[in-house]
């Protein structure tokens, strides 16, 4: 998943790190029950660390992150 500063290419990568705010590999999974509404959760994991969790229908995607 890549996100550009202008927001136009969200979800796509440019392969140019100078134009990206971030890039992450996502761990895919399945929720315990289907999510009827798209849910995006940022949770703290102590200090400057956290976790991004995206849930929708029968899929979850997550990745840890560090704020610098």
Beta-strand runs (E) in the chain: 2-3, 22-23, 27-29, 35-44, 49-57, 59-66
Tell me the Ramachandran region of residue 15: left when phi exceeds 0, alpha when psi lies from -120 to 50, beta otherwise: left
Residues with Cβ < 8 Å from 33, sequence gap 6 or more? Answer: none
Q: What pLDDT band is residue 17 in, cutting at 50, 70 and 90? A: confident
User: Given this model, what pLDDT does residue 7 score?
Assistant: 53
The Cα 31–Cα 56 span in angstroms is 9
Q: What is the pLDDT of residues 18-63, one digit of tens each?
A: 777 777 889 999 988 988 899 999 999 889 999 999 999 999 999 9
Q: Residue ranges per domain, the chain?
A: 24-68
Q: φ and ψ at 18, to 5 degrees?
A: -70, -20
């Amino acid at each position: 998943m890549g996100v550009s500063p202008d927001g136009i290419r969200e979800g796509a990568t440019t392969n140019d790190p100078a134009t990206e705010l971030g890039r992450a590999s996502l761990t895919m999974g399945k929720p315990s029950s289907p999510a009827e509404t798209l849910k995006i959760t940022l949770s703290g994991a102590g200090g400057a660390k956290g976790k991004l969790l995206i849930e929708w229908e029968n899929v979850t995607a997550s990745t840890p992150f560090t704020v610098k």
